[in-house]
Structure 1
Amino acid sequence: MLTQINPRPSAATLVRMRAPGLLLICTLLLAACSKPAEKVEDIRPVRVVVLNPANADVTSEFPGAVQARYESQLGFRVAGKIIARQVDVGTVVKRGQVLMRLDPKDLQLAQAQAVAAVSSAASNRDTAKADLKRYQDLRDKNFVSQAVLDAKDTAYKAAQATYDQAEAAFKGQLNQTAYATLESDVDGVVTAISAEAGQVVAAGTPVVSVARQGAKEVVVGAPENQVDKLRGSSDVQVRLWADPKQVIRGTVREVSPIADPVTRTYAIKISIPDDTPNVKLGMTAYASFTSKTSDNAIKVPLTALLRVQDHSAVWVVDGSTVHQVRQVPVQINGQHGNEVWIQGDLRAGQQVVTAGVNQLKPGQKVTILNAPEGSLPPGKAVASPPLASNNAEPSAAAATGGAAR
């Protein structure tokens, strides 16, 4: 029996057999010699503003419209059908000028009836008076009793009362007939028309609005959280949309006690001088109310505010060399444009973040972009972010984008 002997493997075969093991050993050696990856510290670029002392003026501005101080809504004092409208919106009218007319036929018939009633009552009164005179003569001759004379006297007094009643009714009907013509009771301008010819209206229904000439005012709507502050404002300035350069001094005349059911704002009426030129009814106007802030109120850009749960806050930068931020709750005292007045645990000279507020957390390290002059103590430099290639300064757009990331 022959035994088969395997030939000795070649060198190439041995290399192939040992290659995976050698590769594993090399990998382990390299892993043991390599250093761990360094952690990159998260430093956010931000923009800041230096807080300045407060106790300055806060201006609140609201849009409104010019209106007449006195405006009457006129209506007929009797019911009827309108047969003529003799004015349009914007018509300047004089006192006693006819605005509308009702169909007077029914009123004229009632007047004729009243005239007939007066005539009948006058006849009965004259007859009773003549009878009384005759019976007085008969009584003087003792031809009739005193009781008969008293009856005639009573009949005459009743006829006289009936005449007086008919005459009063006639005068009332004359007034009713005159009420078929609607006249302006003041010199002014027609601002609205609520009915047209052919329409049947009830007594007292407003059909024409007339604004009295002379005194004008600006009416604005204020939110409920500022009504009390604006109520006592003594410095009110009014500007017209048609002429924004013209500044008109105004005075708060009236503040509505209830809110408008649609806008939920309170109407504030501001009186302006009667001799103010170029002011017409219906013009768009803006009223600015100026008031003093409290002693510890500070002005910051609106972008510095951060909403945290149920209150507002700002980020304050602490540290002279290593800048870190901390959150400070604040209370808003007023706003004008893109600036807001706040009050809280702040003091003049502190730095408040104005860009990148939503990407920060308490204790976050930051680097300040374009630090304002005087934001750091003397001799301290501001840490700047690495510059781009070729030592080019980062653009404003790039800086803004870096702060927002």
Structure 2
Amino acid sequence: MQFNYGPIVTVMARSLTVLMLLVLTGCQPAETASSPDKAPYPVVTEALHTQPDYPISHRFVGRLYSSTTSQVGFELAGVVDAISVDTGELVKQGQELARLDDALLRSEAEQLTANLAQIEAQQSLVDTTLQRQRTLESQGYQSQQQIDELLSQQNELAALAQQLQASLSANTIRRQKSKLTAPFDGIVSQRQLAPGQVVSPGQPVLTLVPDAQGEARIGVPVRLLSRLEGQPQFTIEVQGQPQQATLVGRSAEVNPVTRTVELRFALPPMDNLVNGDLVYLQVEERVAQPAAKVPVSALTSGLRGRWNLMVAAPADGGYVLERRDVTILHSDDQYAFVSGAIADNEQVVVMGLQSLVSGQAVTPGAKE
């Protein structure tokens, strides 16, 4: 008996085809028309405002100096006998700070005093002799020549006495200058020598710094000097605290290393000023280039080093997201100034960018 398998094969093939179609149909996404439309996603936006320029805040560092810082030393050469103060001590004007060994000066003073006493004794003798000779002259027993010699001797002794008196005064001055005194009230910031050392005239022994008045010296680039002209007061940060300062002068040349001009600012009297401490000055520079200010949170990284903003653009009575390429001109921790494919009054998304895509329908709203 011979069976005909043709109709059976045909039925099986048709069944297999239908099964494959059902499987493929189940893998297809549901049509949009068959599902209800999703509601626009709410986003926080801000309106863009382009300005003709944008600011850049510069922070320059300088050092604190005292306007009357002085390196005090002796006018004379000698051996340091004693130093009465040390680093960090507070001194008053006129207080003795150090002294030189003045043994030679005291010996010289004693010698000059003895010589002066000798001259005075000789003067007394000449005066007595001259008086006696004048009495004899009136009686006709003495010649004029002897009297003239006594007068000359008297003048010579007077000149010698005057010379010795001047030398004694000079000795007294040198002894006074052998004592180093404070020229003003202040703090000893440095001690350069110790007792027993030989010093030359003008060699620094101690460095004195006033304990209240300070001066800030800060280098600023030449291109920013015009920003400081005519400004009466400046805010300078000293020890973490803002202080009002006045510009009192500037150097006449550019520092060859930092390429800046040193400015001098007078600070108000302050406690606990430390000579050489760091101070800071902020200067704002305006860059003449149109830019829009946006929060840093509104920026996302794009292709080829570009940055993007998400803008809620009007479309069919609603809003959809559009990605715009921008260039960051300047930024800080909170805001950035950008330029690019943006326009005034466009609504830029400033929060929640990680859950958004271009072309998504959104509802813009202000930040609460």
TM-score, normalised to structure 1's length? 0.57
Deviates more, 1:149-158 or 1:227-236: 227-236
Q: Within 2, Cα distance between the matches of 1:289 and 1:146?
A: 91
Match of 1:285 among 279, 296, 299: 279
Structural mapping, 1:119-158, within 5 Å: 119-158=117-156
Q: 1:126 Cα deviation (Å)?
A: 2.2
Asked if residue 351 in structure 1 is aligned to residue 360 in structure 2, the reply is no
Aligned twin of 1:202: 200
RMSD of Structure 2 on Structure 1 (CA): 4.3
- Structure 1 stretches of 4+ moved >6 Å: 335-339
Q: Is the 8 A contact 2:290 2:339 kept in 1?
A: no
Q: Number of aligned pairs? A: 279
Q: 1:97 Cα deviation (Å)?
A: 2.1
Q: SS of the residue aligned with 1:234?
A: coil
Q: Within 1, Cα distance between the matches of 2:213 and 2:333?
A: 35
Q: Within 1, Cα distance between the matches of 2:149 and 2:200?
A: 47
Amino acid at match of 1:85: I
Q: Is the 8 A contact 1:68 1:211 kept in 2?
A: yes
Q: Is the 8 A contact 1:50 1:350 kept in 2?
A: no
Q: Is the 8 A contact 1:64 1:220 kept in 2?
A: yes
Q: Within 1, Cα distance between the matches of 2:157 and 2:292?
A: 89
Structural mapping, 1:4-403, within 5 Å: 52-54=51-53, 59-227=57-225, 229-230=227-228, 232-240=230-238, 242-243=239-240, 246-259=241-254, 265-274=260-269, 276=270, 279-289=273-283, 293=286, 296=288, 351-352=339-340, 375-376=342-343
Q: Is the 8 A contact 1:71 1:212 kept in 2?
A: yes
Q: Is the 8 A contact 1:253 1:270 kept in 2?
A: yes
CA 1:337–1:199 in structure 2 vs 1: closer, same or farther (change >3 Å)?
farther
Q: Is the 8 A contact 1:135 1:152 kept in 2?
A: no
Q: Within 2, Cα distance between the matches of 1:120 and 1:324?
A: 105
Q: SS of the residue aligned with 1:144?
A: coil
Seq. identity, %:
23
Q: Within 1, Cα distance between the matches of 2:226 and 2:138?
A: 86
Q: Within 1, Cα distance between the matches of 2:202 and 2:243?
A: 38
Q: Within 1, Cα distance between the matches of 2:345 and 2:75?
A: 83
Q: SS of the residue aligned with 1:209?
A: strand
CA 1:278–1:120 in structure 2 vs 1: closer, same or farther (change >3 Å)?
closer
Amino acid at match of 1:176: R
CA 1:336–1:230 in structure 2 vs 1: closer, same or farther (change >3 Å)?
farther
Q: 1:255 Cα deviation (Å)?
A: 1.2
Q: Within 2, Cα distance between the matches of 1:79 and 1:63?
A: 41
Q: Within 2, Cα distance between the matches of 1:152 and 1:196?
A: 56
TM-score, normalised to structure 2's length? 0.62
Q: SS of the residue aligned with 2:174?
A: helix
Q: Is the 8 A contact 1:75 1:207 kept in 2?
A: yes
Aligned twin of 1:356: none
Q: 1:337 Cα deviation (Å)?
A: 7.0
Aligned twin of 1:360: none
Q: SS of the residue aligned with 2:51?
A: coil
Amino acid at match of 2:277: M
